[in-house]
Every structure is written in structure tokens, then in C-alpha cells.
Amino acid sequence: MSPSRGLLVLVSLASLTGCSDAVPGSATSAATADVGPLPGAVDGLGDLVVTDVPSGRPQVPDDELDPPAGPKSLADVAGYAEDADREEQVLTEYGYRWGWERFWGADEDLTSVFVDQFEGPDGAASYADDLARNDTDYYGGNPDRDPEHLPDGCATLTVEDPAEDTRLTGPAAFAWCAHGPFTVSVAVVSADTEDALAQVDDLVDQQLQRLPRG
């Protein structure tokens, strides 16, 4: 797995403006929510992705990013990695179906949400764990593998003073969660890590409540 997917999100947003071992089937605040059946196509997944963020920042139009945001195929996501063929093989083994990316930002307040759907919870848990491990290796720091305000299956990371080569524009917080056959990945760059993490916690909770568990 490659950490470049998350990096590309934050770099793309910046250019516009100048984990714990995941637990398949673990309880979340959305476990009993009546949110309908699993999406049967990528557009159905897109309908479940949050449309507003705690910062109130405007959404960045999908086609203003390179690569564009919005619906993602297995090949699209594999293409973020240095070895796309190997990544596609791993994602296929995980049962990857499709994903959706959405971004918000202005100045140095940047937010991204990725939601990816798999054939089952095991693949989603493995992918969330890979994202948490690889992004932590890239950005540095010590992840919280049992965050107080998030359910089992989530991990978080804060980066107070990002290294220049990460191209983060300021203090940042990240979260990676497995929820049934879905993974949810959230990143926020803000004025300080406390604010960024509070936004991440709020946004993860909102997103999990919109997802069925299968």
C-alpha cells in the first residue's frame, strides 16, 4: 500500500488555495441507524458521502482537482501508488469495489473525506489498517489506536509541525476507520492540531452515521 493517495489530496487542495488493527463489525454510533441497503453502484456510494464539513468551508468542485475527485474505480485508486499493478492486485484481494472522494478548502483550512466500499468487512478492515500504518510512516508521529471519541475500528494521528517534504500547509489531523464493508478516511489541516482533531472527530461521526453496515 502507498501513502500517496492521502498526500495527493492535501497537495491538490493546497495548490488551489495558494491505526489500530481495525475490528470488522465492531460497534459504532451508526450500527443501528436506518440508512438503507448497501450501495449497488458507485453513484449510490456518492449519495452517502457528507456534503458539509465543520469548518463551513466550500466544497472544491471535483473537476478542479488533478486527478479529479468524485467516483473512483479500483484502477483509479491503484493508480495513486508507485507500483499500480501491485496495488491493484492487493485491492482485488481485499475485495475493493469502488470509492468516492470529496474535498473542501480555502486558504490553509483544508478537509478531505474518502469513503471506499469492499465486498466485506475483512477487506475494509485490512485497507483501513494499511492506510493508517503507511500514512503514519510518511507523516511521522504516534497514532492513537484507541481514540476516545471514536468507535472501535478507528485510528487517528495529529501532526503539529509537518516536515517541509510532506507538503502539508499546517497542523493536521487524520482518521482512518473501518465500518462494515466501508473504510472512511478523513484529513483536516487547520490552525492547530486541537482544532483539526475536533473537526476530524465530528466529521467521522457524521460520515459513519450515513453508512449502512451490510
120: domain CATH number is 3.40.1000
17 pLDDT more than 50: no
**Residue 175 falls inside a structural domain:** yes
**Residue 80 falls inside a structural domain:** yes
Show the domain range for 109.
4-209
Mean pLDDT for the stretch of residues 9-16: 51
Residue that wins the pLDDT comparison between 166 and 187: 187
Three-state secondary structure readout of 90-101 = HHHHHCEEEEEE
**Span 134-175, pLDDT tens digits:** 899 989 888 999 999 899 999 999 999 887 777 788 899 999
**Residue 214 falls inside a structural domain:** no
pTM reported for the whole predicted model: 0.86
Mean pLDDT of the chain: 85
**Span 53-109, pLDDT tens digits:** 999 999 999 999 888 999 999 999 999 888 999 999 999 999 999 999 999 986 578
> Rounded to whole angstroms, how far apart are CA atoms 186 and 173?
8
**Residue 19 falls inside a structural domain:** yes
**Residue 202 falls inside a structural domain:** yes
> Rounded to whole angstroms, how far apart are CA atoms 209 and 181?
14
Number of domains the chain is built from: 1
In the chain, what's the furthest Cα-to-Cα distance? 44
Task: Give the pLDDT of residue 163.
Answer: 78
**Residue 51 falls inside a structural domain:** yes
Q: Is-contact 28 179, C-beta < 8 A?
A: yes
Task: Give the pLDDT of residue 107.
Answer: 58
C-alpha cell of residue 20: 489500530
Burial of 142 (0-12, 13-18, 19+ CB in 10 A): exposed
Give the pLDDT band of residue 9 (cuts 50, 70, 90).
low
One-letter identity of residue 106 = A
Burial of 120 (0-12, 13-18, 19+ CB in 10 A): middle
